[in-house]
Amino acid sequence: MAKLRGRGYASVNYPTGMNLGGDPSQALIHATTTGTFVVSLSSVDLGQGLKTVVAQCAAETLGLPVENILVDTADTDTGPHCMGTFASRGTHRVGNAVIMAAAEAREVMLAVAAEELEVDAGDLETDGTGFVQVTGAREKRIHITDLALAAHFTHGRTISGRGIFLKEKNDPVPETGEMDPDSCQAHACTVAVVEVDDETGVVEVLRMHNAYEIGRALNPAMVAQQVEGGAWMGMSHALFEATEPYYPARDHGPTDFNEYLMPGAADIPEYHNAILERPAGNGPFGAKGIGEMTANAPIPAIANAIFDACGVRLDTMPFTPERVLRGLDELRADRSPTKE
């Protein structure tokens, strides 16, 4: 009886957005007289961090600190339309809409600053700390708070902008499947190292190496969150999860967290991750969506590692101890090395 080690590989791509019905999202942005910009959306943050990432997009575009941005979202009375959070579309669609809105607002902001400073708007830049200044001339500058007040009380202007991203409707050709469903593709290659206990059938994932290409890492710490959380979910799908463990039989369905098994904090492997950036021309600062894909490559990587470890090819998910043991029994019964 032994613990058998194996290594498995998987490489995948994943589409950003899934469009067939037309896929728009809108953003509105306006400055209050405090110099704070409010981004109005109806988009939903599921915990992936949309609110943070769109604030970054607005701040970068306006040239202001992220502290000057407030994101007000998910009230259908006050936020413009968004299709919703799914299909790895949030960062891409909403990010683009926010950039467009912020760019329009920036133009007004610079126009008002030009009047205040009595220079040409083309000669102005933002310094990233809250000032608009004459390019290269720090002493000639105005703070966004003064600017916002002046716009409202002196110039009668709203520093505001409208943005939309639309992926146009596309109908698949029924005969051939020709279609344009997505905006770009992100990429990943996962290498999983597992240990299979040939007595109990238990598979332990020891290490996962993940190389991702995601266009642009808008917030590297949140990218790390997605990669690690997704790898965990992929491992969980691979080894444990099923609402119908003996599918297609409907019996033995788990009803709570005691029966629906998932790896706990004690079961997590060592992760080694790396990010590549090949910015997408149509992405916000080049970003592609990676929220969903991080769970994908780990599953086949683990299946392939199990085969590498013990010669059992699991073609049915999840890879439970029962399935591993049945596979080992079959191998022992039929020691023909030509199985694969």
Whether the CB-CB separation of 282 and 216 falls below 8 Å is answered with: no
Nearest to 109 by CA among 51, 155, 163, 67: 155
Q: What tokens does 108 get?
A: 């007004």
Nearer to other proteins, 115 or 228 (CB): 228
C-alpha span between 227 and 4 (Å, rounded) = 27
Active-site residue, 292 included: yes
Strands 270-276 and 124-126: unpaired
**Binding of residue 125 to other proteins (CB under 8 A):** no
Nearer to other proteins, 153 or 335 (CB): 335
**DSSP readout, 208-277?**
EEEEEE-S--SSHHHHHHHHHHHHHHHHHHHHT--SSTTTTS--S---STTTS----GGG--EEEEEEE-
Write each residue from 257 to 296 as x if it is in contact with other proteins (CB under 8 A), else as -, in one continuous string: xx-x-x-xxx-x--xxxxxxxxxxx---xx----xxx-xx
**Binding of residue 321 to other proteins (CB under 8 A):** no
- Interface pick for other proteins out of 6, 8, 163, 327 (rule CB under 8 A): 8
- Catalytic residue (one of 60, 104, 195, 292): 292
The DSSP bridge partners found for residue 82 are: 25
Where does this chain touch other proteins (CB under 8 A) — which range of 106-114, 143-151, 160-168, 171-179? 171-179
Nearer to other proteins, 150 or 304 (CB): 304
- Interface pick for other proteins out of 119, 149, 155, 181 (rule CB under 8 A): 181
At 142, phi and psi to the nearest 5? Answer: -140, 140
C-alpha span between 99 and 283 (Å, rounded) = 10
Nearer to other proteins, 154 or 274 (CB): 274
Where does this chain touch other proteins (CB under 8 A) — which range of 30-38, 110-118, 155-163, 302-310? 302-310
Nearest to 55 by CA among 42, 38, 43: 38
- Interface pick for other proteins out of 2, 32, 34, 46 (rule CB under 8 A): 46
Give, as ranges, the residues between 55 and 114 that touch other proteins (CB under 8 A).
55-57, 59-60, 63, 65-66, 71, 73-77, 79, 81-87
Where does this chain touch other proteins (CB under 8 A) — which range of 31-39, 42-50, 116-124, 141-149? 42-50
**Binding of residue 136 to other proteins (CB under 8 A):** no
Nearest to 159 by CA among 123, 107, 120: 107
Tell me how far, at minimum, the Cβ of 232 lies from other proteins, in Å.
Answer: 3
Nearer to other proteins, 135 or 316 (CB): 316
DSSP state of 77: T
- Interface pick for other proteins out of 30, 106, 167, 187 (rule CB under 8 A): 187
Q: What tokens does 122 get?
A: 């083309």
Nearer to other proteins, 79 or 201 (CB): 79
Nearer to other proteins, 161 or 230 (CB): 230
CA distance to 38, 116, 130, 144, per residue, from 127 (Å): 20, 17, 7, 11
Where does this chain touch other proteins (CB under 8 A) — which range of 12-20, 31-39, 145-153, 158-166? 12-20
Tell me how far, at minimum, the Cβ of 174 lies from other proteins, in Å.
Answer: 4
Rg (CA), the chain: 26
**Binding of residue 330 to other proteins (CB under 8 A):** no
C-alpha span between 87 and 14 (Å, rounded) = 10
Q: Which residues of 155-182 are buried (b: 16+ CB within 10 A; e: fewer)?
A: eebebbbebbbebeebeeeeeeeeeeeb
The DSSP bridge partners found for residue 160 are: 30
Give, as ranges, the residues between 191 and 250 that touch other proteins (CB under 8 A).
191, 209-213, 215-225, 227-233, 237, 241-245, 247-250
**Catalytic residue numbers?**
292
